[in-house]
């Protein structure tokens, strides 16, 4: 769980060799160990350590990780449970099996377990209207289809802003904010039919935990203590930041190694991500999972419920995405094995749990920064212990005519990360996917609705009941595509005062489709009309996209105003003020190979912003750059609405500009 998703993957995946006395093997030793012939899966503690020690040394140094835990279980036993590096590098406190970490969204699997306990007890109908179990709380729903517990636990409830309820911060430590108090103030609306599309969803799991609380009649934290943690002997695990556990908690760090403050959650009990735990306790949790819901002779949850948690429920074409509670991002890392996993983070702590149920094997790791080191560890673990046994046949790609490609064309917006927009077009027999994160990618067709990009990552499209393309899912690790499907935007709206020949028409249509700018009145866009500073700021916040994250909008509004004197929301906006506002959020560097020179007068506080944007190609169609790089920006002219549409579309849309941050 994390407020700022630019640095987040749905996965939360993490020293220096001088910090780890055991890690003295060279990289060559890593390679020779990994190529050794071994029984499939980990079986011997010494061999696991010989594999893991140099790997953690290398990767923790690469990702600047201070400390990490690592535990491997198989066949009901703990094979290895050790720490690497420092829980607190300033105090030289090492990580060990009892070091406490915030495990973030790995908590979602515990919430799913609790919900399935209530399903087993007959207190919750997995496929019934969830509002029956919310104590009278109503969910705004525009679809006409009720949301169920199954939808919540498979990340498919259809919320417009699934992170609207994700509040973290130091200010929440020591507070006691109930879900009863929280939900009436923070409830996003459901805009997509439940079950229709996958979107990584914090709100859904918060609601699932709330339903457990209401159905059981026990406060959620108490329920978890009594019904989950205690039966599993997880004595160092809690939904809350208990003082006795915080004494053993690892320090939190930024990716640059600087300390960062510990953050709590609002509400205090966070079914979507507030659990703290240790490797010792998480080993018990994994063993229970790998024993079909049983631990130490006790049934924690039914085998039927466990099968739902370990069986993929949601797919994009043939790509498995989620189970009840778990996920399957980076599907290419599985090497053909059936894997369920869950990553999670709180600012400065990250965790990953991987289960291979058919081999009764699992591993868990926590570390103290926000890097993606756990993705590398996961890949190396699978390649070492479960390598591919058969070489995959190269797909036979089908031809795609431009006529058949038409249905895929359009502008798409990610259903969680609204700042991620993608254009799909056609070129020389291939679809062309274009986004800021991936650049241009040619897509080859494996079969209708399933394509592969130039790096071998799959793109799976989904049709509605009328055969029209509505969504796609993209397995690329670049950007945040793995955190949800992308939805095709409706581009049919036309404005009576925007002719087809207008050089601004595409920009206006794009911003209209994304609900960033709309008609001024009736069917008229008023392309040459002016805007106030407040109106432009509103459109800019929507174009930038991170307003969908809880607590982000106020910070964005403060940031866009930095260095601009005499701002007044009701005053008309000039072109130079608009450029400065955009640059304050975009933070672009001028392109070194594009020497541009501003010819007209602009205020000193705006010149660098104007130059940076123009050098990047972020200019309206009526601004021309001469062959010698000189240009006139009309800096002090009032900004026209059509000019605003072009600047915002180019700065925050789907174009592959030479963006260098």
466-515 pLDDT, tens digit each: 999 999 999 999 989 999 999 999 986 789 999 999 999 999 999 999 99
Q: What is the residue whose two structure tokens read 């070489």?
A: 391
Interaxial angle between packed helices 107-120 and 202-216, expressed in degrees from 0 to 180 and rounded to the nearest 10: 40
**Which helix (H) or strand (E) segment is 511 a member of?**
helix 505-513
Q: Which has more pLDDT, 42 or 27? A: 42
Q: Which of 145, 140, 164 lies closest to 156 in space, CA to CA?
A: 145
Q: Which has more pLDDT, 300 or 332? A: 300
- 181-213 confidence digits (pLDDT tens): 999 999 999 999 999 999 999 999 999 999 999
Q: How far apart are the first and last CA of the chain?
A: 25
Q: What letter would DSSP give residue 371? A: -
| Beta carbons of 630 and 620 less than 8 angstroms apart | no
For the chain, give the mean pLDDT: 92
Half-sphere exposure at residue 4, Cβ-oriented, CA atoms within 13 angstroms: 9
- 538-562 confidence digits (pLDDT tens): 999 999 999 999 989 999 999 999 9
Domains and CATH numbers, the chain: 5-385 (3.40.710.10), 402-488 (2.40.128.50), 505-652 (no CATH)
Per-residue pLDDT, 390: 80
CA 222, chain centre distance (Å):
29
Per-residue pLDDT, 40: 85
Q: Quote the tokens at residue 581.
A: 């506002």
- 203-253 confidence digits (pLDDT tens): 999 999 999 999 999 999 999 999 999 999 999 999 999 999 999 999 999
pLDDT band, residue 436 (cuts 50/70/90): confident
- 67-114 confidence digits (pLDDT tens): 999 999 999 999 999 999 999 999 999 999 999 999 999 999 999 999
Question: Quick one: what percent of the chain has pLDDT higher than 70?
Answer: 93
Q: What is the residue whose two structure tokens read 């790998």?
A: 290
21 pLDDT above the threshold of 50: no
Per-residue pLDDT, 653: 87
pLDDT band, residue 659 (cuts 50/70/90): low
Per-residue pLDDT, 660: 46
- Arithmetic mean of pLDDT, 426-442: 93
Residue 481 β-bridge partners: none
652 pLDDT above the threshold of 80: yes
Q: What is the residue whose two structure tokens read 């094997």?
A: 361
| Beta carbons of 610 and 576 less than 8 angstroms apart | yes
Per-residue pLDDT, 13: 27
């Amino acid at each position: 769980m994390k407020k700022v998703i630019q640095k987040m993957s749905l996965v939360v995946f993490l020293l220096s060799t001088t910090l780890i006395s055991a890690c003295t093997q060279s990289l060559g030793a890593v390679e020779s160990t990994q190529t050794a012939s071994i029984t499939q899966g980990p079986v011997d503690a010494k061999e696991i350590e010989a594999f893991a020690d140099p790997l953690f040394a290398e990767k923790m140094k690469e990702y600047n990780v201070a400390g990490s835990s690592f535990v491997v279980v198989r066949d009901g036993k703990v094979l290895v449970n050790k720490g690497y590096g420092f829980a607190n590098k300033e105090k030289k406190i090492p990580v060990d099996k009892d070091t406490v970490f915030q495990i973030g969204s790995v908590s979602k699997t515990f919430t799913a377990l609790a919900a399935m306990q209530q399903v087993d007890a007959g207190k919750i109908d997995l496929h019934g209207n969830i509002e029956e179990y919310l104590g009278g709380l109503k969910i705004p729903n525009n679809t006409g289809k009720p949301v169920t517990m199954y939808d919540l636990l498979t990340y498919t409830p259809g919320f417009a802003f699934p992170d609207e309820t994700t509040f973290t911060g130091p200010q929440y430590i020591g507070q006691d904010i109930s879900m009863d108090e929280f939900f009436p103030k923070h409830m996003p609306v459901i805009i997509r039919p439940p079950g229709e599309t996958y979107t990584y969803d914090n709100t859904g799991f918060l609601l699932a935990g709330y339903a457990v609380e209401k159905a059981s009649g026990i406060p959620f934290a108490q329920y978890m203590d009594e019904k989950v943690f205690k039966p599993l002997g997880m004595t160092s695990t809690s939904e809350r930041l208990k003082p006795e556990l915080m004494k053993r908690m690892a320090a939190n760090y930024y990716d640059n190694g600087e300390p960062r403050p510990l953050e709590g959650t609002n509400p205090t009990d966070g079914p979507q991500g507030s659990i703290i735990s240790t490797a010792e306790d998480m080993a018990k949790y994994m063993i229970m999972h790998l024993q079909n819901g049983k631990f130490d002779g006790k049934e924690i949850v039914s085998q039927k419920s466990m099968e739902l948690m370990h069986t993929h429920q949601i797919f994009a074409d043939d790509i498995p995405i989620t189970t009840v509670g778990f996920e399957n991002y980076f599907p290419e890392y599985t090497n053909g094995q059936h894997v369920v996993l869950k990553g999670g983070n709180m600012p400065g702590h990250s965790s990953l749990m991987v289960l291979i149920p058919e081999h009764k094997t699992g591993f868990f790791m926590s570390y103290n920064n926000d890097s993606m080191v756990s993705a590398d560890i996961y890949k190396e673990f699978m390649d070492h212990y479960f390598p591919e046994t058969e070489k995959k046949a190269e797909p036979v790609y089908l031809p795609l005519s431009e006529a058949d490609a038409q249905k895929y064309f359009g502008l798409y917006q990610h259903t969680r990360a609204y700042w991620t927009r993608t254009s799909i077009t056609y070129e020389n027999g291939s679809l062309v996917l274009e986004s800021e994160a991936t650049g241009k990618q040619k897509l080859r067709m494996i079969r209708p609705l399933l394509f592969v990009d130039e790096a071998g990552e799959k793109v799976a499209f989904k049709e509605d009941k009328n055969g029209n393309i509505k969504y796609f899912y993209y397995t690329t690790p670049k950007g945040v595509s793995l955190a949800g499907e992308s939805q095709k935007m409706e581009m049919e709206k036309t404005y009576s005062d925007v002719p087809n020949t207008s050089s601004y028409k595409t920009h206006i249509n794009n911003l209209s489709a994304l609900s960033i700018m709309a008609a001024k009145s009736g069917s008229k866009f008023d392309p040459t009309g002016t805007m106030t500073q407040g109106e432009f700021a509103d459109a800019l916040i929507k174009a930038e996209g991170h307003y969908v994250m809880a607590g982000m909008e106020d910070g964005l509004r403060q940031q866009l105003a930095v260095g601009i004197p005499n701002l007044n929301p009701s005053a008309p906006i000039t072109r130079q003020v608009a450029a400065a506002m955009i640059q304050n959020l975009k933070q672009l560097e001028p392109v070194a190979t594009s020497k541009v020179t501003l010819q007209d007068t602009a205020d000193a506080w705006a010149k660098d912003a104007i130059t940076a944007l123009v050098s990047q190609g972020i200019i309206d169609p009526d601004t021309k750059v001469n062959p010698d790089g000189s240009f006139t920006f009309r800096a002090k002219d009032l900004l026209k609405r059509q000019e605003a549409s072009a600047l915002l579309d180019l700065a925050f849309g789907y174009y592959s500009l030479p963006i260098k941050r």
